[in-house]
Amino acid sequence: MKSVLLTGAAALAICAGTAQAQDLVFAPGEGDFNWDSFESFSGEYDLSGETVEVTGPWTGRDAELVNSVMAYFEEATGATVNFSGSDSFEQDIVIAARAGSAPNVAVFPQPGLASDMASQGYLTPLPEGTADWMQENYAAGQSWVDLGSYEGPEGEENYYGFFYKVDVKSVVWYSESAFDEMGYDIPETMEELKELTEQIVDDGGTPWCIGLGSGAATGWPATDWVEDMMLRTQPPEVYDQWVENEIPFDDPAVVGAIEEFGWFAKNDDYVQGGSQAVATTDFRESPAGLFTIPPECYMHRQASFIPTFFPEDNDSSFFYFPAYEEKDLGQPVLGAGTLWAITGESEGANALIEFLKTPIAHEVWMAQSGFLTPHTGVNTELYANETLKGLGDILLGASTFRFDASDLMPGEIGAGAFWTGMVDYVTGTPAEEVGADIQDRWDSIQ
């Protein structure tokens, strides 16, 4: 950290890579990429001699992948992109901004810090028309505009954050062979999911594997459940009010969402090991029961990263964690993602945001690994595998997208009282009492 304090933006070049130093991973004109978008963008810019400094949270393989995309920006414009990744990005970018040595563009892993920096005058609103473009070209476009719009230093609201690279959490995983053997159909509504849960019990099985264990972070998987249930039982504006503490944790809407989670997790017949095992089972180990013979459980709700912990040669598949048909709230999707913001305005910085609008800027990463996008103009056949394509389809089908609520709340709540409160709930404390305790903690830090 001392080097960051002493050298400002130069320190952010640790782990940096220059995109121009590598070859284009896909030759222009080859394959089913949208090369027209690349050629059109290339014809609009000549940034020869300009350097664009970009910093974000990605290191290792992710840094290599973002550099592979930046290479096309360089090829199209003649500019040089220096990307620097840091495990301590959140601290580094604040220090650099306060020292007056911020990069041109910063990649934020969540909106909270970007909002704070916008309010302090450290971000520049995105080019005019970007919000309109987002509404027209991203599935659930208004959701992305809302997530990237913040108040500036004078209290005026502007669009600051362009979301690029998204994760999906509204996913249920299962074993294809286990479902096929029992003849189970994929539920398309929450009503059908609950019917399937009851049917599996009637057939002598256990529907769900749920684990909240995660060391010092035990409890966080339950927060995702509750967030998904908030989006399936309440309009998105109520979800937003909850995130902003405009309605309390013991509001009937929040208590109801907690109890919706409890419908699945607090019934001994519904969850592997019984409800008391939920709090102590490690979340990384909990889905293993999907793949035993016979299955110890049939379904596991978890984000798109969870296959990392599946056994080798598994036959996993997934479906969208469905919405209630009777509540008519559309197809909400819970997730996370990174947003790109201008921290040091320049012609190159503005051009880079324009580049992120092109399908090619998404397709190059899509075709390699670990990238999802709600951009409606991309060729989804280019996803690196069927899992990514299916997850991408969930994003494209979203009527509403909301960011993980606990990541937007103050750390003492979202990464503290909310986690422990969910453990208390599954081990016997009533939802109303849990909500009141969390709210008391929130009130105490105001």
- Provide DSSP, 163-214: EEEEEE--EEEEEHHHHHHHTPPPP-SHHHHHHHHHHHHHTT---B----B-
Same domain, 300 and 424: yes
Same domain, 152 and 175: no
Q: 10 Å Cβ neighbour count for 327?
A: 14
Residues 270-314: tens digit of each pLDDT: 999 999 999 999 999 999 999 999 999 999 999 999 999 999 999
Residues 13-72: tens digit of each pLDDT: 334 455 554 689 999 999 999 999 999 999 999 999 999 999 999 999 999 999 999 999
Same domain, 104 and 221: no
Distance CA 358, CA 360 (A): 5
336-to-110, 121, 147, 361, 385 alpha-carbon distances in Å: 7, 25, 11, 19, 21
CATH at residue 138: 3.40.190.10
Same domain, 425 and 355: no
Structural domain that includes position 221: 171-333+412-444
Same domain, 293 and 420: yes
In this prediction the pTM is 0.92
Same domain, 149 and 187: no
Residue with tokens 């409160």: 421
Same domain, 151 and 274: no
Query: Which residues of the chain fall below pLDDT 70?
Result: 1-22
Same domain, 99 and 117: yes
Same domain, 295 and 419: yes
Distance CA 258, CA 424 (A): 12
Same domain, 224 and 252: yes
Same domain, 34 and 118: yes
Same domain, 371 and 434: no
Total number of domains constituting the chain? 2
Contacts 24+ apart (CB under 8 A), 346-351: 346/50, 346/52, 346/104, 347/47, 347/50, 348/47, 348/50, 348/51, 348/52, 348/77, 348/79, 348/104, 349/52, 349/104, 349/105, 349/124, 350/127, 351/45, 351/47, 351/52, 351/73, 351/77, 351/79
SS3 5: helix
What are phi and psi for residue 378, nearest 5 degrees? -85, 160
pLDDT computed for residue 134 by the predictor: 98
Strands 149-151 and 400-403: unpaired
pLDDT computed for residue 19 by the predictor: 57
